[in-house]
Amino acid sequence: MRWNWQLPDWPNFQYDAAPIQSAEAQFLKGAGVVVGALHHLDGDARQGFTLDLISQEMVDSSAIEGEVLDRASVQSSLAKQLGFAADPRKAKAAEAGAAELMADLYRSYAEPLNDQKLFDWHRMLMKGDRNIQEIGAYRTHADEMQIVSGALHAPRVHFEAPPSATVPAEMRRFLDWFNDSAPSAAVPMSAILRAAIAHLWFETIHPFEDGNGRIGRAIAEKALAQSLEAPTLTALAETIKRHRKAYYAELHRASQTNHIDDWLTWFADIVLEAQKRTIRKIRFLIEKAKLLERMKEQINPRQEKALLRMFAEGPDGFQGGLSAGNYQTITGAASATATRDLAELVELGALSRQGERRYARYYLAVEYGD
């Protein structure tokens, strides 16, 4: 099999941008919605949302690669990095490094991309990792850089990247293109198109021994942010994780050709879905504040505790809804008390109920979009 970088037209990607023009327009419009919705949150809520979203992005980006990070530790480290209030817990190296990368991406999205920035990100990401030789530098090993699966005696090669010896030249060409296509450049490129190409191109080169996926998704976020002239706060990694199997399939398909229309269409859909999730989360927080304000002095401490616990699950809520048993576990209430408390919350309009008796399930009665 010949990979895209082995073809004579590499890296002159061929595509028709027209099919994703509507997605580009929707993305820019959605960015305005995000800004407008954020204005409805007070300072603490807006800060909390920013921390929550950015930390979740790195947790999900790592999970795509099979690495599990402690979300609370990432969030605490990120708060320290951004100068927000943070608890005193000491994070492990992996969580601290991941938070450092995301904080740097948030603060320096407008800066040009260069080797040194990528090396810095790689050092952050690889903190505490002793399994690779080159940290904060492009790979130099003579062995093929391959993505494989299956048994050692019969591996399945999903992709093979360019040889290490060619990486510096490949990266110079990539970085020149990335900076020359920025919104501030003489010939700027539209947001989604640039992010899609940047991610595919970087993943093809695979310049580091490890961490390429996470850094590649950070580059895509940087491209989107530069087009908006603001941190995107787009749940890109979270959305890719939800479509992880398709993500790898589309990357594999795109790695065999430099005609990338299918990749662009898929990536554009993912970006729009990610942005919708962000908007949904913000509206959820707005409705949370409204409901809790409306319930003030109408509910008891048990009911308040249960509502806060339900809100903590986010827009997706409890899987299958809140049961009376769940309510007892959360509040410590007796069975009869739980039944009465839940009935009151339904009567007050805080919860809606589906089902009867022991099959009854309760959901937050808030409207925050699809």
Numbered residues of the known binding site for ATP: 210-217, 247-248
CB 270 within 8 A of CB 236: yes
Rounded Cα distance between 57 and 53, Å, is 6
Rounded Cα distance between 240 and 213, Å, is 11
Residue 67: partners with Cβ closer than 8 Å, 6 or more residues away: 94
Long-range contacts, 332-339 (Cβ 8 Å, 24+) = 332/302, 333/302, 337/302
Exposure of 184 in the CB half-sphere (CA atoms within 13 A): 9
Residue 72: how many CB atoms within 10 A of its CB? 14
Residue 84's SS3 state is coil
CB 345 within 8 A of CB 351: yes
Active-site annotation holds for 206: yes
Q: Provide the b/e sequence for 310-320 (b: ≥16 CB within 10 Å).
A: bbeeebebeee
Rounded Cα distance between 276 and 208, Å, is 32
- Could you tell me the two tokens for 177? 């293109």
Sole residue written with tokens 């790195």: 58
**Catalytic pick among 206, 243, 252, 259:** 206
Burial class of 36 by CB neighbour count within 10 A (0 to 12, 13 to 18, 19+): exposed
Q: Return left, alpha or beta for 69; rule: phi > 0 is left, psi -120 to 50 is alpha, else beta.
A: beta
Residue 169: partners with Cβ closer than 8 Å, 6 or more residues away: none
Burial class of 43 by CB neighbour count within 10 A (0 to 12, 13 to 18, 19+): exposed
Long-range contacts, 354-359 (Cβ 8 Å, 24+) = 354/321, 358/324
Residues with a catalytic annotation lie at 206
